[in-house]
Amino acid sequence: MFKTITLEKWSDFVSALMEKGPLFAPVKGEKSVDFRRIEDPSVVTLDFYNTALSPKFVFFPPSEDLIRYRLVKNAAESVPVPIEAPPSVILGVRPCDAKSFEIMDRHFLGAGVIDPYWKQRRDQTTVIGYAFDPRTPPDPADFYSALGIRAADPAGSDILMIKRDGDLLLKSVTEKGEALLRDLSPAGGSAEDERAFDEILAQGNDLRSRFLEIQDAEIAGKLSAIFEDKAFWEKAAEACIGCGICTFVCPTCYCFDISDETLFNEGARKRFWDACMFTDFTLEASGHNPRPKIFQRYRQKVCHKYAYHVRKYGCISCVGCGRCIRACPVNIDIFSVVENALKW
Ligand code: SF4
Ligand code: SF4
């Protein structure tokens, strides 16, 4: 299904989406644009390159109560917290981020144990992708095309949206997207608009964010071969301060920890984001830490994404969104590390 919406009707379109259930969309903040739960359609913006944080929090919140409990004499009473997963929409997801959902599915749904929190929210959420403008050069940190993702790639979206001067062109990609688009006004779009949509999509196929094409098997093999090469990894992580920002902004980082927080005999078992760049991520109860040095933790991060993930799930766990590069306080560039590894 294909539809054209004029930008004048944008606010009506957002309002119609809000009637379907919780809507998450880009909102301009003080320093960046980020996805928020929308209460007022006028705050949604399409005027951004990409958000500072990824939209993964819709499926995988930074912190979440799994069980609430009360400690009573010699025992505990506990109740599981019901999973909140109403039918929802995420609007304005860039193609690299839409692709990240598919990569995360492999871990949360395909590893032998299905994560019910991720699954229920994924099942209930419709993703409206938002193509990069192929006439605008990519941000220098981006390298999504090096990983085979294109500027107007529909993969991972249920509907793909393309902004063209005074209007928005929307085309369904999945049945879920088709069902949502069918329900929204206006009735359709012209054949000419649909041709324009396909042309912009083709232009997006030609846009390159960086010029190397990274091959999954090649980089996985190379990283395994240089795993013990301390000189390479110390050089790669020389400036790293272990702040963990690169993992928190990343759409494909999924490590979490679970711990109990108790106050006055009541509390909650929580799941929250964790990061392999933190000193105590691998700290064992004995006091032993198998990755005490920063270069070992940075090596883990790169090898997990570019080698272990390829071996376990058949794909690289990075979409080249460039967030970790833009956010790193010491300008470490994971693409350059991977490029240098291939040449090492
Ligand atoms: S590793 Fe960096 S470039 Fe790759 S998906 Fe994560 S934040 Fe984006
Ligand atoms: S953001 Fe940069 S400095 Fe911070 S942990 Fe990541 S690579 Fe290291």
The full 3-state SS of 318-336, as one line of letters, equals CCCCCHHHHHCCCCCCHHH
Q: Domain end: 147, 174, 206, which one?
A: 206
Gap from CA of 205 to ligand 1 centroid (Å): 20
Average pLDDT, integer, range 305-323: 97
Which atom of ligand 1 is nearest to 305's Cα? 1
Q: How many domains does the chain have?
A: 2
Beta bridge partners of residue 124, listed in sequence order: none
Three-class SS state of 313: helix
pLDDT for 81 equals 96
Angle between helical axes of 95-108 and 116-124 (0-180°, round to 10): 140
Question: Do 224 and 201 fall into the same domain?
Answer: no
pLDDT of residue 211: 84
Ligand 1 pocket, residue 321 CB under 6 Å: yes
Q: Contact at 8 Å (CB) between 54 and 251?
A: yes
Looking at the domain assignment, is residue 325 inside a domain?
A: yes
Q: Are 178 and 172 in contact (CB under 8 A)?
A: yes
Nearest Cα neighbor of 344 from 230, 216, 210, 212 is 230
C-alpha 247/C-alpha 338 separation (Å) is 17
What is the band of 304 on the pLDDT scale with cuts at 50, 70, 90? very high
User: Last residue of some domain: 162, 178, 206?
Assistant: 206
One domain for residues 268 and 134 = no
- Phi and psi for 205 in degrees, rounded to 5? -65, -25
Strands 256-263 and 266-273: what pairing?
Answer: antiparallel
- The closest residue, in CA terms, to atom 2 on ligand 2 is 328
Q: What is the largest CA-CA distance in the chain?
A: 73
For ligand 2, the distance from its centroid to the CA atom of residue 245, given in whole angstroms, is 6
Distance from residue 335's CA to the centre of ligand 1 (Å): 9
Give me the residue label for tokens 């790193």: 328
In percent, the amount of the chain with pLDDT more than 70 equals: 100
C-alpha to C-alpha distance for 200 and 194, rounded to whole angstroms = 10
Cβ of residue 137 lying under 6 Å from some atom of ligand 2: no
Q: For residues 278 and 165, which has the higher predicted lDDT (pLDDT)?
A: 278
What mean pLDDT do residues 133-138 have? 90
Spacing, Cα 74 to ligand 2 middle (Å): 45
Q: Are residues 33 and 177 in the same domain?
A: yes
For the Cβ of 300 lying below 6 angstroms from any atom of ligand 2, the answer is no
Q: What residues contact 113, with CB distance under 8 A and at least 6 apart?
A: none
For the Cβ of 251 lying below 6 angstroms from any atom of ligand 1, the answer is yes
Cis status, amide bond into 87, omega within 30 of 0: no
Q: Would 211 be classed as within a structural domain?
A: no
* DSSP code of residue 147: G
Same domain, 169 and 247: no
Measured at the CA of 220, the angle between CA 293 and CA 300, to 5 degrees, comes to 15
Q: Is the pLDDT of residue 186 over 80?
A: no
Q: Which of 41-55, 204-218, 226-240 has the lowest mean pLDDT?
A: 204-218
Cα of 242 to ligand 2 centre, how many Å? 5
Res. 185: pLDDT tops 80: no
My answer on whether 43 and 133 are in the same domain is yes
DSSP symbols for 74-137? TEEEEEEPPP---SEEEEEE-HHHHHHHHHHHHHHTTSSS--HHHHHHHHHEEEEEE---TTSP
Query: Residue 249 above 80 pLDDT?
Result: yes
* Residue 326, domain member (yes or no): yes
3-state secondary structure of 311: helix
Residues 90 and 61 in one domain: yes
Gyration radius (Cα) of the chain, Å: 22
Domain span at 227: 216-343
Task: State whether 149 and 231 are in the same domain.
Answer: no
Instruction: Tell whether ligand 2 has an atom less than 6 A from the beta carbon of residue 314.
Output: no
**What is the pLDDT at residue 60?**
98
Q: 339: burial class by Cβ within 10 Å (0-12, 13-18, 19+)?
A: middle
Q: The pTM is what?
A: 0.94
Cα–Cα nearest to 42, from 20, 21, 27: 27
Distance (Å) from CA 183 to ligand 2 centroid: 44
pLDDT bin (cut points 50, 70, 90) of residue 75 is confident
Residue nearest to atom 4 of ligand 2 (CA): 243
Sheet strand arrangement including 33-37: 2-6, 167-172, 159-164, 125-130, 88-93, 23-28, 33-37
Point out the ligand nearest to the CA of residue 101.
1
Ligand nearest to the CA of 239: 2
CA of 149 to the centre of ligand 2 (A): 24
Tokens of 272: 């929250």
Q: How far away, in angstroms, is 132 Cα from ligand 1 center? A: 17
Nearest protein CA to atom 7 of ligand 1, as residue: 250
Q: Is the CB of 330 under 6 A from ligand 2?
A: yes
Q: Residue 35 in 3-state DSSP?
A: strand
Cα–Cα distances (Å) from 83 to 54, 60, 109, in that order, read 21, 12, 16
Spell out where the chain has E strands: 2-6, 23-28, 33-37, 63-72, 75-80, 88-93, 125-130, 159-164, 167-172, 256-263, 266-273
pLDDT confidence of residue 111: 86
Contact 329 CB / ligand 2 (< 6 Å) = yes
> According to the model, what pLDDT value does residue 233 have?
98
Residues 34 and 158 both lie in one domain:
yes
Tell me what pLDDT residue 116 has.
97
Has residue 166 got a pLDDT over 90?
Answer: no
Partner residues linked to 27 by β-bridges: 34, 44
Shared domain check, 84 and 221: no
Task: Tell me which of 111 and 225 has the higher pLDDT.
Answer: 225
Q: Cα separation of 234 and 153, whole Å? A: 36
pLDDT band at 74 (very low <50, low <70, confident <90, very high): confident
